[in-house]
Amino acid sequence: MHKGAGANHWFIPDGYIPEKSSGELTSHESVCVLNRSSEDAQLTFTIFFEDREPLENILVTVPARRTSHVRTSSLERDGARIPVGVPYAIEVQSDIPVVVQYSRLDATQAANALMSVVAYPIA
């Protein structure tokens, strides 16, 4: 049996899905989750906006001893998705400890630009 590692609650204040892509790569964001334990992790995402109510209770499973690089454009609840070109923020809650990193590839201008942060954990 492998123990879980990380934290149960993570935050990413700077979310943004670029509107455009040019060149060979497609603009996208990934929430990269590592579940090093022998149990599956049940994740709940909340999406916060600047000017409207949060989008709550988006569920994602990360299998035991696996990583999942979740495209934010794939997150969906009752047909509601994160709009492109809008600033937002992400909260991730997990039933067991996991580690969360956020990366964005912006290919708006043919030359790709990349950014990444380890999300902010709370106990």
Beta carbon nearer to a copy of itself, 69 or 77: 69
- Using the rule CB under 8 A, which residue among 39, 40, 48, 60 binds a copy of itself? 48
Could you tell me which stretch among 1-9, 37-45, 77-85 binds a copy of itself (CB under 8 A)? 1-9
| Backbone φ, ψ for residue 73 (5° rounding) | -70, -15
Q: Among 38, 42, 54, 80, which residue sits at the site for a copy of itself (rule: CB under 8 A)? A: 54
- Contacts to a copy of itself from residues 63-82, by CB under 8 A: 65-69
HSE-CB of 98 using CA atoms within 13 angstroms: 33
- DSSP annotation string for 53-87: --EEEEEEEE-TTEEEEEEGGG-EETTEEPPTT--
- Pick from 17, 45, 88, 94 the residue near a copy of itself by CB under 8 A: 88
Does residue 57 interact with a copy of itself by CB under 8 A?
no
When asked if residue 92 is in the footprint of a copy of itself (CB under 8 A), the reply is: no
Q: Is 41 in the site for a copy of itself (CB under 8 A)?
A: no
| Residues near a copy of itself (CB under 8 A) | 5-6, 9, 11-16, 23-25, 30, 32-34, 36, 46, 48-51, 53-54, 65-69, 87-89, 91, 99-101, 103-122
